[in-house]
């Protein structure tokens, strides 16, 4: 921090801002009584963020997840009024009868997909923003997401292969014209400065983290239009060379201590068909994608030391399902090499979630993973709306919907942005669950952050989704964890409180009163 001139008390004040912030935090909690509560800051009606800095950030202590043995359940609440993961205990027993009660039934004997987990993306822009904070605040932010003891307990991280729109420039790893030997292939300064350091930190915090990667485009000279964006496709003569290009990426990251669990066929290939879209992209048709995987990417991976790296196909909107994957999987060799389907949420209003069911039913041995979502993409709306409850609500409802329709996880887009929603080299600004404020060395946890944490913190990898009923006002999803605990997430969409009775035939009935517009996670021993 820049030192200011002055003497005596004035100098103490100006040169010790972090100390005074810490004192303010201490004063706040002396008044409110909890050492783990949100430090709220309001930006309007229903717009509350939780402020974190170098010395303090709200979060659940590790023992907050301990499930009692006395026939009761833990109950965690985040709501529009300002509660953030507020914990209480509720007993199993008889509920007061009322026609207004919503009656839900959990059946842990009916099991569905195994959950992989939740996470976010390590973009250049995320790294740029995190690096603007002090080292202590950077550490606080990474713990907020990836610490399995007090953070969100993320287990997934999406790492772009080269640049995206959330970079400050368009680039790939070999922009030397016609470099058919890949002599000039090289990881870039963005990898070493903005992506790998934070991915490594996530892995140090949680060794169970899995990274998956995707390229937005091949080098322009490999494409039919010689551009990093626009209506361009990989030239057939470069199918094998591009597979080798991706192997070099895997090798480069492995040499830097980062193994890539999975690689996808390319980010949003349908963007290539959108006129005047400046987004980095490379188009695929289902038959060409299948041919490239069958003849090039799949065999090249299988013959390499990265033969355990999975291939995920599509990485685009769910309105492409199931027809796109039906055509890809018609190629039996491609189907053999592909482990799952990656989907994005931006076009969900076009296609119902039943397309996920149809995809699962057609290919039950191939998992479905939601790999990108963000708010702030709507036309004529602010890109960042600090503290927006509405955006948090969209997150939680989407996660519930995807998990109830066979998705094994849900992955956010940028893990951190600034208050403009950038940087972004084509000004395609959006929102993020965490917004950084380098001027005050703070970051803001938005309702979107808590929506994800209500799942990621309580539903570990290996959990199985189980049966639970819901209705139009109370949306639900339930899981049985590897440690034989039941986790239920409920969202009350009502503008009024809603009484709910949850019947588990193996445990009894638990009675809840869900506050208006509230996210609720209930956890108990089976």
Q: Which residues are catalytic?
A: 268, 372
Q: Are strands 485-492 and 474-480 parallel, antiparallel or unpaired?
A: antiparallel
Nearest partner of 475 among 418, 520, 522, judged by Cα = 520
Quick one: which H or E segment has residue 286?
A: helix 286-292
Instruction: Round to whole Å and give the CA distance between 490 and 479.
Output: 12
The contacts of residue 473 (CB under 8 Å, 6+ apart) are 102, 492, 493, 494, 498
Q: What are the φ and ψ backbone dihedral angles of 80, each rounded to 5 degrees?
A: -60, -30
Strand order in the sheet with 102-114: 86-91, 72-79, 518-525, 485-492, 474-480, 464-468, 102-114, 498-504, 508-514
Give the angle 157-250-363 at the CA atoms, nearest 5°.
65
Task: Provide the terminal-to-terminal Cα distance of the chain, rounded to the nearest Å.
Answer: 52
Q: Give the rounded distance of the alpha carbon of 425 from its chain centre.
A: 22
How many helices (H) and strands (E) would you count in the chain? 14, 21
Question: Is the distance from CB of 340 to CB of 368 less than 8 angstroms?
Answer: yes
């Amino acid at each position: 921090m820049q030192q200011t001139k002055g003497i005596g008390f004035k100098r103490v004040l100006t040169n010790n801002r972090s100390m005074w912030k810490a004192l303010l935090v201490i004063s706040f909690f002396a008044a409110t009584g909890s050492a783990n509560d949100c430090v709220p800051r309001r930006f309007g009606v229903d717009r509350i963020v939780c402020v974190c800095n170098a010395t303090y950030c709200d979060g659940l202590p590790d023992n907050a997840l301990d499930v009692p043995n006395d026939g009761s359940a833990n109950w965690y609440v985040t709501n529009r009024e300002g509660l953030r993961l507020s914990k209480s205990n509720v007993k199993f027993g008889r509920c007061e009868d009322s026609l207004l009660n919503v009656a839900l039934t959990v059946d842990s004997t009916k099991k569905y997909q195994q959950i992989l987990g939740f996470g976010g993306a390590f973009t250049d822009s995320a790294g740029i923003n995190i690096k603007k904070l002090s080292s202590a605040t950077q550490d606080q932010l990474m713990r907020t997401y990836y610490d399995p003891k007090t953070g969100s307990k993320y287990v997934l991280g999406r790492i772009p292969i080269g640049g995206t729109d959330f970079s400050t420039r368009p680039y790939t790893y070999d922009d030397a014209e016609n470099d058919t030997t890949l002599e000039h292939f090289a990881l870039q300064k963005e990898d070493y400065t903005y992506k790998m350091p934070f991915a490594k930190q996530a892995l140090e915090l949680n060794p169970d983290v899995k990274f998956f990667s995707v390229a937005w485009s091949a080098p322009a000279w490999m494409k039919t239009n010689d551009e990093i964006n626009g209506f361009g496709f990989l030239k057939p003569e470069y199918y094998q060379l591009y597979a080798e290009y991706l192997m070099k990426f895997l090798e480069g990251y492995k040499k830097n201590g980062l193994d890539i669990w999975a690689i996808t066929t390319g980010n949003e290939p349908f963007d290539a068909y959108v006129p005047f879209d400046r987004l980095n992209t490379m188009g695929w048709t289902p038959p060409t994608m299948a041919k490239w995987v069958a003849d090039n990417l799949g065999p090249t991976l299988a013959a390499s030391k990265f033969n355990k790296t999975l291939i995920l196909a599509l990485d685009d909107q769910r309105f492409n399902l199931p027809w796109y994957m039906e055509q890809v999987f018609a190629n039996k060799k491609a189907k053999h090499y592909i482990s799952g389907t990656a989907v994005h949420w931006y076009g969900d209003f076009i296609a119902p979630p039943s397309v996920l069911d149809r995809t699962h039913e057609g290919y039950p041995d191939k998992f479905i993973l939601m790999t990108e979502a963000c708010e702030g993409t709507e036309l004529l709306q602010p890109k960042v709306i600090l503290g927006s409850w509405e955006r948090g609500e969209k997150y939680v409802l989407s996660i519930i919907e995807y998990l109830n329709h066979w998705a094994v996880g849900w992955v956010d887009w940028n893990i951190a942005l600034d208050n403009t929603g950038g940087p972004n080299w084509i000004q395609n600004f959006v929102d993020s669950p965490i917004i950084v404020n380098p001027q005050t060395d703070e970051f803001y946890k938005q309702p979107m952050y808590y929506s994800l944490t209500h799942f990621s913190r309580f539903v570990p990898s290996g959990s199985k989704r189980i049966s639970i009923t819901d209705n139009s006002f109370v949306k639900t999803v339930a899981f049985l964890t590897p440690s034989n605990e039941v986790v239920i997430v409920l969202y009350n969409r009502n503008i009024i409180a809603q009484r709910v009775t949850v019947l588990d035939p193996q445990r009894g009935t638990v009675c809840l009163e869900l506050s208006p517009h509230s996210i609720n996670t209930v956890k108990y021993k089976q």
